[in-house]
Amino acid sequence: MFGEQGIQYLKANLTKVLRSQGVLLGLVLIIIVASIVEPTFMTVSNILNILRQASAIGIICLGVTFVMMTGGMDLSVGAIVSLCSMVAVVMMNTYGSLPGSTGIVLLAILTVLAIGFAIGVINGLIITAFNGRLGETFIITYGMQIVVASLALLYTGGQFVPGIFAMGLYQQLSMGFVPIICFLSLAAIMHVVLAYTGFGKQISFIGANMDCARMSGIKVSRLRVITYGICGACAGFASIIVTSRVYSASPLQGTGYELEAIAAVVVGGTSQSGGTGGIVNTILGVLVLSVLGNALNVIGVDANAQLLFRGAIIIIAVGLDMWNKMAKQRESTK
Amino acid sequence: MSRAKTKDIRPLELFLNQTVLFLLVGFILIMALVKPSFLAWWNIQNVLIDVSIYGVVACGMTILIISGEFDLSASSQYMWAQILYITLLNSTNNPFLSIILTLGSGFLLGTINGLIVTRFRINSFIVTLGTMTMIRGLCLVFTGGKMVDTQNKFIKALGSAEFLGLSSLFYIYLVVLVIISAMLAYTNFGRRLYATGGNIEVAHLAGINTAFQKTAAFSIMGVLCSIGGIMLVAQLRAGSTQYGTDLALTCVAATVIGGTRLSGGAGNAFRTALGMLVIVVLYKALIYLGLQAYYQNLVKGSVLILVVMFDLFMTRRRTTMKQERS
């Protein structure tokens, strides 16, 4: 009798672990397979490289997570990265060689954060003015993407801007562990905000049930606007790390970043209908996609065929998540 | 509330309900005044060809949005149809067999989208984001990123054929539009689509197989994307992953401008055609006025945002008016 129960307990726990830690297991699996097929994958320099690459897109994902927690979507982040890259590099080119360049770097970061925040707030204001749901947030931020992307092109008439400023603090931002530390510390702050403060809990509540949140006295519109602002500011900050890395700015820098970011957040397990998920999930999602991309590169799959894997991963991850939820529901009704 | 009040609103209501029409007519009039050559026959022909190709896909998007879903992968499916059709045409030299196979492939892709959405109950934004990436990858792997072209005589004849001064593509569009509109308005299948999009739980309780309705809407979308792709091939005799990257969201914009609610359950295909006409006329006018390409995009994006805001404003207005009446 006892033995049977014990086996059942183990079984139940095993499926529980498999279900709740599916993404982590996937990540471990990809790493194991990649390092067996191609031993150079597991070198320190390659892993550092993956993490450095992941940190720029990861910072965008942190903001997108906030927006998706409220049951929204932000397609304008890629265009914000493009615009902010242009602004930051042009600013550094103009003033970066003057004395007191540390102050100028900080000023550039602040400007870019402000631009991102402002665009996000405009998104949020339009969306909340009409109480837009997922579909509307999608279309409005898509419109904003077109507008901001064309602003980025107009800024220099579509010209690519090489960096001509003196090497210094700005370059340091993408060297060694700096971008990784930036990403992880920002992630830690946002995790604490989301998981342990009233603000974070209210955001999750909005995503779970917006009408209910409104009835219980939460200032839904104001919180949503702030969330979109945070998302824009994150995209702005990511542009600093990207431009510091490539030492130049292109008006098409951020094209496609928004889809990469959404894919990573969704793979991590933050639900597109809002309310569930979190920063830790997103970090895992970012790692899965960047490790997968790097592993495919190292193994030698060409860029076009990688799209097939990327698309499949998105669908499989969300499908498993949904299947998992349905199974849980069935258990709870039993 | 009172009768007098509703009477006062009427002219305004008429205007608001037919805004798209007024917008279109006003816009064309202004353009005709600024640049009389805007109304030249060749320009009208060009506008109608553009409207026809995108309009076919917009018909499918209307059906999907009515049923409460959405398809981001339309652009990729459209590319795939062009590439597949040209490849088949070049290898079999049989235009009709190629058409049937291309439509079949579109049907299959659409059905796969639909089955994933309905079986796993995942938001269609995410599913079609995934399939969009995959189909695009497939196109790129298949062609190696190169453009494909054909010298087939039939397709050349189809693309340049004219009747009453209008391109054959326009007549294909008219046929599709009439069939889709008739299906939505007069068949049980159409009525069930509206019911599914309006309130899926009520529709389910009323005995409608909502999963079938949605999957069928996705399948129709797939077929229409293929038709659109074949029409583009007829016009350009070439196919590439560069053609139609903005197709999916342009179609959504046309549908919304035409007055179909994004939340599903209402709308009609003729009004989407009107919406598509507005968009194409706007784009052509921006080019005609000699605006720089970047400014064109700025205007496009702003118009899209304004239109969605207007749509949301109208929805809110209608619900408050309903509450006042009752």
Task: Kindly report the nearest CA distance between residue B2 and chain A, in angstroms.
Answer: 27
Chain center to CA of A94 = 30
Tell me whether residue B295 is in a domain: no
Instruction: Please give the pLDDT value at position A275.
Output: 66
Instruction: Please give the pLDDT value at position A268.
Output: 84
Task: Kindly report the nearest CA distance between residue B313 and chain A, in angstroms.
Answer: 7
Model pLDDT for residues A33-77, shown as the tens digit of each residue: 888 888 888 888 888 888 988 998 999 999 999 998 888 888 899
**Out of A136, A259, A304, closest to residue B129 by CB:** A259
Show residues of chain A in contact with B142, CB under 8 Å: none
Torsion angle, alpha carbons of A280, A329, A331, B114, to 10: -100
State the pTM of this model: 0.82
Asked if B58 contacts B270 with a C-beta cutoff of 8 angstroms, the reply is: no
Task: Kindly report the nearest CA distance between residue A78 and chain B, in angstroms.
Answer: 15
Tally of structural domains, chain B: 1
Q: How many CB atoms lie within 10 A of CB B320?
A: 10
Show residues of chain A in contact with B138, CB under 8 Å: 308
| Cβ–Cβ below 8 Å for B297 and A149 | yes
Instruction: Please give the pLDDT value at position B140.
Output: 87
Tell me whether residue B8 is in a domain: no
Question: Residue B130: which of A201, A175, A55, A321 has the closest Cα?
Answer: A321
Tell me whether residue B281 is in a domain: no
Tell me whether residue B312 is in a domain: no
Three-state DSSP at A249 gives strand
Show residues of chain A in contact with B304, CB under 8 Å: 139, 142-143, 146
Top-confidence residue, B141 or A236 = A236
Candidates A259, A308, A310, A313: best to mutate against B (most CBs of B within 10 A) is A308
Distance CA(A297)–CA(A306), nearest Å, equals: 9
Task: Kindly report the nearest CA distance between residue A150 and chain B, in angstroms.
Answer: 5
Distance CA(B149)–CA(B240), nearest Å, equals: 9
**Out of B130, B141, B298, closest to residue A304 by CB:** B141
**Is pLDDT above 80 for A4?**
no
Tell me whether residue B34 is in a domain: no
Handedness of CA B125, B127, B129, B131 (dihedral sign): negative
**Beta pairing, strands B162-163 & A161-162:** unpaired
Contacts 24+ apart (CB under 8 A), B12-21: B16/B314, B16/B317, B19/B310, B20/B257, B20/B258, B20/B259, B20/B271, B20/B274, B20/B275, B20/B278, B21/B274
Instruction: Please give the pLDDT value at position B227.
Output: 92
**Is pLDDT above 80 for A225?**
yes
**Is pLDDT above 90 for A189?**
yes
Instruction: Please give the pLDDT value at position B4.
Output: 45
**Predicted ipTM > 0.90:** no
Domain boundaries along the sequence of chain A: 38-321
Asked if B193 contacts B221 with a C-beta cutoff of 8 angstroms, the reply is: no
The secondary structure of B135-204 as a DSSP string is: HHHHHHHHHTT--EE---HHHHHHHH-EETTEEHHHHHHHHHHHHHHHHHHHSHHHHHHHHHHH-HHHHH
Question: Residue B141: which of A327, A311, A320, A9 has the closest Cα?
Answer: A311
Asked if A115 contacts A106 with a C-beta cutoff of 8 angstroms, the reply is: no
Mean pLDDT confidence for A182-189:
92
Chain B interface with A: residues with Cβ < 8 Å: 70, 116, 120-123, 125-127, 129-138, 140-141, 144-145, 249, 252-253, 256, 262-263, 294-298, 300-302, 304-305, 308-309, 312-313, 316
Amino acid at residue number B38? F
Candidates B69, B135, B309, B320: best to mutate against A (most CBs of A within 10 A) is B309
Amino acid at residue number B265? G
Three-state DSSP at A271 gives coil
Task: Kindly report the nearest CA distance between residue B120 and chain A, in angstroms.
Answer: 6
Three-state DSSP at A110 gives helix
Q: How many CB atoms lie within 10 A of CB A211?
A: 10
Amino acid at residue number A67? V
Tell me whether residue B111 is in a domain: yes
**Out of B122, B132, B309, closest to residue A126 by CB:** B309
A26 token code pair: 């996937």
Task: Note the CATH architecture for domain A38-321.
Answer: Orthogonal Bundle (1.10)
| Cβ–Cβ below 8 Å for B308 and A262 | no
Instruction: Please give the pLDDT value at position A113.
Output: 94
* Residues spanned by the domain of B252: 52-269
| Cβ–Cβ below 8 Å for A143 and B140 | no
A134 token code pair: 């997922």
B189 token code pair: 């299948």
Question: Residue A248: which of A150, A174, A148 has the closest Cα?
Answer: A174
Show residues of chain A in contact with B145, CB under 8 Å: 304
- Helix, strand, coil: what percent of chain A each, to 5? 80, 0, 20
Instruction: Please give the pLDDT value at position B2.
Output: 43
Asked if A128 contacts A219 with a C-beta cutoff of 8 angstroms, the reply is: no
B63 token code pair: 């059906």
Per-residue pLDDT of chain B (326 residues; tens, 9 = 90+): 444 444 455 566 666 666 677 777 888 888 888 877 777 788 888 888 888 989 999 999 999 988 888 888 898 999 999 999 988 888 888 888 888 999 999 999 999 999 988 888 777 878 888 888 888 888 888 888 788 888 877 877 777 777 787 788 888 899 999 999 899 888 888 888 888 888 888 888 888 888 888 899 999 999 999 999 999 888 888 888 778 777 888 888 888 777 777 777 777 888 888 888 888 888 888 887 777 778 878 887 888 788 778 767 776 776 777 777 66
Instruction: Please give the pLDDT value at position A100.
Output: 65
Candidates A119, A137, A147, A316: best to mutate against B (most CBs of B within 10 A) is A147
Instruction: Please give the pLDDT value at position B12.
Output: 61
Amino acid at residue number A96? G
Instruction: Please give the pLDDT value at position A272.
Output: 67
Model pLDDT for residues A109-133, shown as the tens digit of each residue: 999 999 999 999 999 999 888 777 7
Residue of chain B whose alpha carbon sits nearest to that of A132? B312
Tell me whether residue B143 is in a domain: yes
Handedness of CA A61, A273, B261, A314 (dihedral sign): positive
**Out of B127, B137, B298, closest to residue A315 by CB:** B127
